[in-house]
Amino acid sequence: MYRCRYLAHGLYIGLYELRHCHLSIHAPEEREKNNYIQGYLGPKKSKVDWEKLFEKKKQLVEGMRNGEIPSFCKGCHWIEEFDENSENQFLTDFEPYIDIVWLGNFNECNARCMYCSAFEAISKKITTKDYGVIELLKEMFKKKIYDPQRILNSSISFSQGEPTLLKNFESILKLCEKYGNENVALYTNGIIHSRMVEKLLKYKSKVRIRIVISLDSGSREVFKKIKFVDKFDSVVKTIKRYAKSLNKENSSALGIKYIIVPYVNDNKEEIDKFFDLCVNKLGVKYLITDLEEKWFVRHNGEVPEYLKDLLRYFRDKCIDNGIQFEFFDRALVTKL
């Protein structure tokens, strides 16, 4: 028997449709099948049929329990296996609610990262679709389809493009404050510093924001190779300001990520520079590492030993220095 909490309770708001999740990283050819029934064109043109959406989720949950893994989920590491006789039967998977929302209706960005999954869309100027996100979130809050007061681990994540470029970026954060949504994840390149984000980090608020900045290097030269923009100094300044805003209670609210890109930054020297900059010079307490997605998919998840050694080196360096660390997605599935 299998299950996935994202299939049961996740909602990805994409450029063209609503999807069950934002992953499908192991089956990229199946991405387009990962939508729920029909396209959603925004509040002025169509409405979400929540009854049909949850009926589809119920079918997926039942299918997984019968051993039927959807094609767009093949190989995904978030699928859990459990026994029919196990104590936890995850019966809440059948309940009609959303507890994790990914905002992926925009691709606009001020960097050109070589590993970006939206690079092609950005080059074709397919960037942002207003999509009525504010109205859609309001509906979900009011109808308690998404109810952070009942499901305490509920979260909203900015998962595509550069969030600080969004015209309604601050409006979404204010909406989360209004409805008491504590958990907000912000994945950003850090080129633009946000005063509102700094404020949320500094003062107690109803929004408990978590920021992940992908720096991916410890030097300006390597940064430019990966990002294709000369903004290393800007990102460092942003990290420094955010790090200063943290207190002991929320020191893990700011995570700096090092995505290992084979043949570009896959060496201990660059990791050492990254560590020295983040920890010793900027005062960061939480570091993250991952493996580049496109490379990982092309190699069918087969990770050579030297990359595993780099992941261990990163992990052990953090442990030895009392720094919180985390493996993301591809690094996680290597099961070191």
Name the pairing type of β-strands 254-260 and 18-19: unpaired
Q: What's the rounded Cα separation, in Å, for the pair 38 and 72?
A: 17
Residues in the chain with pLDDT values less than 50 = 25-26, 37
CATH of domain 97-333: 3.20.20.70
Question: What is the signed CA dihedral for 57, 61, 66, 72, rounded to 10 degrees?
Answer: 70
The answer to whether 86 and 137 are in contact (CB under 8 A) is: no
Q: Where are the domains of the chain?
A: 97-333
In the structure encoding, which two tokens stand for residue 193, read together?
Answer: 């510093």
Exposed / middle / buried, residue 249 (Cβ in 10 Å: 0-12, 13-18, 19+): exposed
pLDDT of residue 69: 87
Q: What's the rounded Cα separation, in Å, for the pair 285 and 247?
A: 11
Contacting residues for 260 by C-beta, under 8 A, at least 6 apart:
266, 289, 290, 291, 292, 307, 310, 311, 331
Closest CA to 5 of 153, 144, 180, 131: 153
